[in-house]
Structures are given as structure tokens and as C-alpha cells.
Amino acid sequence: MFNHASFIWGAADILRGTYKQHEYGDVILPFTVLFRLDAVLAPTKEAVLEAIGPMYVGVEPPIAMLRNRAGHTYSFFNRSQHDLKSMQGDPDNLEENLRDYVNAFSPNVREIFQKYRFEDTIVDLANHDLLLQILQHFSKANLHPDAVSNDQMGHIFEELIRKFAEASNETAGEHFTPREVIDLMVTLLLTDDEDLTVPGLIREVYDPTAGTGGMLSVADDKIKSLNPSAQVNLLGQEINPASYAICKADMVVKGQPIDNIVLGNTLTEPAFRNRTFHYCLSNPPFGVDWKQNRKEVEREHTVAGFGGRFGPGLPRVSDGSLLFLMHMISKMREPGSADETQAAGRAAIVLNGSPLFTGGAGSGESNIRKWVLENDYLEAIIGLPTDMFYNTGISTYVWILSKDKPAERRGKVQLIDATDMFVKMRKSVGSKRKQLSAENIAEIAQLYRDFAETKHSKIFRTEDFFYRTITVERPLRLTFACTEERIERVMAAKQVSKLSADDAAALRSTLTLLSQRGDGTVSTNRAQFTNEFMAVATEKGLRLKPALVKVIVNELSERDEDGELQTGRLKTPEPDATMRDTENVPWDDDIHEYLEREVKLFVPDAWIDESKTKEGAEIPFTRHFYEYVPPRPLEEIDRDLDEVLGRIRARLEEVKK
């Protein structure tokens, strides 16, 4: 696998000096696609040319005719008289012949090379006398399907993209997912499909972040291994043009329809708007913001509501992972059809830890989680080992979703801790140092199928992840005094700064006189203190509006546990904002009983502001698998310290001698 990729990437030696390092992939990737397609078509090349004949000069021949008359199994062709090997015998016309060869592909393949701007690459290589060398180099790599399977070819593409990303300082992991992680995801998705062995079964698989098509390819292979007669339709969308071109080339080779892979932004320009699917798979980019798509996403959330994809809420703009989750749920088939081709949709998505718990009650993230749980879409979450992906070592999780859970799973969620299930790689690839073995995948799948409580598997009710956030208030108690510090605070107040110079001077004189009369005495009676202030202000001829008087008195106050209890119009206590606190109350607890039990024992005057109570949901995965390890006994620690100190003293004695 990597030998092929390393050899192909060796073309960089030819490009070095003429091209910059970050440009190597723009040449190597499309040539890899080109030679793969050429190798795939080689066995039927003569038959296709014979089928075309002179009748279709300048006219696209019907695909069905090619298949019937030439035994062609693909939805594309090339009607050039040349192939990549034969044209090397005419170096004087190499550029023209190669351009004609690429343009002789059927439209679905020509579009792939248009995304690469491949014609410009041909011209540029020819201008630097490198075109023949590149063709000769690639000709030494046998990419025929008999030598390199589709699965192996996918690995080769992924390794080339990783090398390209390293050369370009890009993030390789945005384009593909480790195959063993995909294997796990597909294995879990297929577990509960009871109709999977029905002859002639139709299944549609969709990936909204298709990358190079690895997830689609693995799903195709696994379904057909279980049911060779199954018809598997693979559909996807990809935003990166290079990854899109590779994915589309792979799907075309597999015989998938031309329109099944679409270039574009899934969040703003979703393909397949009126379609849903049996299986959805995705590895959206971790922690990538959606600032550039904010306008379109917020419009869909506001205008379409639950009639669109983002009705439940919007996550913070710094992480769009949950947008992809909601999109996938919208693309899962609804249950209720008698036709097995309309079986309810299932999905698997890889996310980092943030979507599990980020955002408090009432936030967009919390509302999305609550919606997923309330609708009973979430079947299981599997915690993967760290260092599993090429571009990051963070913790990652596979979410398994279903629109029609089995009876025993309804209203429940399974958490599987697979963080210790891995084998170390002999050699790291980027940040990837660990991988899942076949045994690891089988063990995780068995835990999922057993759906039982074990050390690595926990079963919860959906309500176990719900909670309420209550706002606990404490009464405001104040004292009042005209101290130098408080007077300066009054004079700095925004409302006071609007007074005329004369009134401001009169106010300062009033406050100074009040401080002298009171001799710094602190009052615990707002009404009495206000009356004293107004009396002095009147003496000074100062007329103040009631609203400004209130501001002044407030600035002359300070919070004090022994101060006067402040009340509102209804004689109810005013809350002290500085003492305000929040508490997360489990869903099954009564909030008032919780207050009595957990709060009032310590602060008897506390109460709940029920107008601020919010409902939330979080999935504290790590907490549920935490195992307490008691500290070592003090005697054992003391013994170890004595031994260390003894050794140090012995060495010091040796030094003295």
C-alpha cells in the first residue's frame, strides 16, 4: 500500500526546483487518478473503440450501447486512439496527444480533471520539459485493478493526500478517516439490519463530508460481502476540489451514477435535498468554525425552523460539528414503510468531545442534544482511543443514531468505553500512533450487540442526561454612608456627569457636608439616609429628579451582611447580583426539594428565581467510566521517603570521606 504511494510521490524529485513544495500534489494527484482510470479501461479499450466506430465521430456514444456491445462494466469511457503508454512513443506531439486523450473521456470524467485545472498542468509541464519524465515515472507504477484493488487504491490516495497536506502545511485529517475507524462505524451500522441478506436488496449510503470516499467504499464492500446480490448506491458531497475529484473517480470506477458525488458546501448548498438514505456516515472536521456560512445557516434556522435542518438550535460559531449531526439526522429515512428498501435510516458520525457537553442549559448545543435525546435518535456513543487520527491526538467519539431503534433500546442510550482497546503502530503517521485491530473492532461490536452493563458498557435512560439549571438568589443587604471613596463613585456615575458644572459642584458640596455631619457614620436605613441627603440638598438649593436621587443613594451604598434588607414594590426581597449562583439539578429531582436539601442548609435565606430556570442536556461520558483510585497510605509514603533520604545521607557521607 505505502510502497505504491511512496513510489508515486517520488515524482516530487522530478518537480523539485521547478515547482514549489506545496505545488507537488497539484501535479501528482491528478496524474495518479489519470493512470488509475487508464489502467481500469485497458482491458476493454479495443472493444470500446470498435463499438464506437466512425458513426460517433464528434458525438458522445450512448453508455448503454458501449456496455452491451463492448461488455463494458463502467459508466465512463475514453474514445482516444491513444493510451498513456503508447503516446510516449511520440514525444514531439506528447502535449497535444495527452490533452486530446483527457478530452476524449466521457463528460463525467472530464469534469474531474477540470476541477484540477489539469490542462494548465499539462501545458506547464510541457513548457518545462517535464511532461515525458512524469509520464515515464507513473508508467512504472502498475495501478491495474488486478494489481491494486479499489480498497488499496483508496489507501494510496489517502497517503498521497497526507503527504500533500504535510508539504502544504494543511490538515490531512480533514480529507479522510483511518480505515479501521470506518470499519468499526460500518460494522455497527449494519448490526441491526435484519433484511441485509434479502436477495436483490437495495441500500443507499450517504456521506455529507465524503473526502476521498473511504467511508462509502468500505460500506459498499461490507454490504456486498454480506449480500453479493445487493444493489448499493453510494452518494456524497465534498467541499475540497482535490478530494472531490479523487472520490468521484473512485465512485465512477465502481460503476456509480455520474451525479452521485457532488462538489459543494453541505451546510449552505446541500445536495440531494429531497432524498433520505438507509445509512449515513460522516467525519466532519473537528472544531472548524462556520463563520463564513453564518448568514445562510441562521436564515435556515430562523425561517425554516423545524421544517429545515437546524430547527433545534445553533451551536457556537467556533464549532460546527453539531450542524453536521443535525444535517445527517435530516437525511436518515423515516420508519413506517412496508418496502424493505425504505427501512428506517441509521447513521454513524465521528465527533470530538465538545458536542457531548459544551454549552450550558438553554444554549444551542444543549438544545440540540436535548432534541436528539427527546426524539430517541441516539443509540450509542463509543469513546475511541486518543492518537487515532492523522492530524490530532484528541479524544474522539463515534455516535450511532437511528430513526427506528430496536424495542430493547428505545428510551435508552449505550455508552461504550473503548479508549483502552487499541494496538500501537510500529511507526507513527502524523499524529496517529494507535489503531484498532480486527479483534478490537470485534470486541466493541460485541459490546454493542450485547447491550448489557459491563465495565466497558453502561446503559442509561435518555432522561438521565437531562437536567435543570436553577438560579439561586440571595437577598440584597446594604449600608449607606458618605465616605470619600463613595463620593468619588457618585461623581463618576454616568447620570451625574450629565449635570451642569454648577449643579455638579453643588452636589459635591452637599455630599461633603453630609459626610461631615454624619462623621462617617454608616446607616442601615435607606429611607432615613435618603431623607437626610434630600434635606442637605435642599439647603444647598439643589433640585434633583427622583431617578437621579436613586442613582446617588445606590452609589453611596455598599453590600453588607449586617445591612438593611432591600425590598421591591411588592415588599419582596431584592436579589443581590453578586451573590447569585446557579445549580444543575438532576431531571428527576424536584427543584424546591433540591434547594432545601443542598442549599438552604448553608444559606437559609436563599430562594429560586423560577423565571430563570432552564432545561438542558449533556452527556458526561468520561465521568461515567471514572474509577476512583485511593491515594497510597501515609505509612507507605513515609517509608519510601525514609529510604530515599537514607540513600542521600549515605552518599553524602561518602563524599565527606
640 vs 150, residue with greater confidence: 640
Cell numbers found for residue 222 = 461490507
**Mean pLDDT, residues 454-483 taken together:** 95
**Mean pLDDT, residues 555-572 taken together:** 88
Domain segments of the chain: what residues?
1-168, 477-565
Q: What is the per-residue pLDDT across 123-166, written as a single tens digit (0 to 9) for each?
A: 999 999 999 999 999 999 888 888 888 778 877 887 787 777 66
Q: Tell me the percentage of the chain whose pLDDT exceeds 70.
A: 93
Q: What is the per-residue pLDDT across 290-311, written as a single tens digit (0 to 9) for each?
A: 999 999 999 999 999 999 999 9
How many angstroms separate the CA atoms of 378 and 397, rounded?
13
Non-local CB neighbours of 30 within 8 Å, separated by 6+ positions: 113, 116, 118, 121, 245
Helices 107-115, 24-41: crossing angle, 10 deg rounding: 160
Query: Given pLDDT bands bounded at 50, 70 and 90, which one contains residue 66?
Result: low
Question: Residue 279, Cα to own-chain centre: how many angstroms?
Answer: 19
- pLDDT recorded at residue 1: 43
- pLDDT recorded at residue 107: 81
Q: What is the per-residue pLDDT across 476-509, written as a single tens digit (0 to 9) for each?
A: 999 999 988 999 999 999 999 999 998 999 999 9
For the chain, what percentages of helix, strand and coil (3-state, to nearest 5) are there? Answer: 50, 15, 35
Q: Which amino acid is at 633?
A: P
* b/e 477-509 (16+ beta carbons within 10 angstroms → b): bbbbbbeeebbebbbeeeebeebeeebeebbee
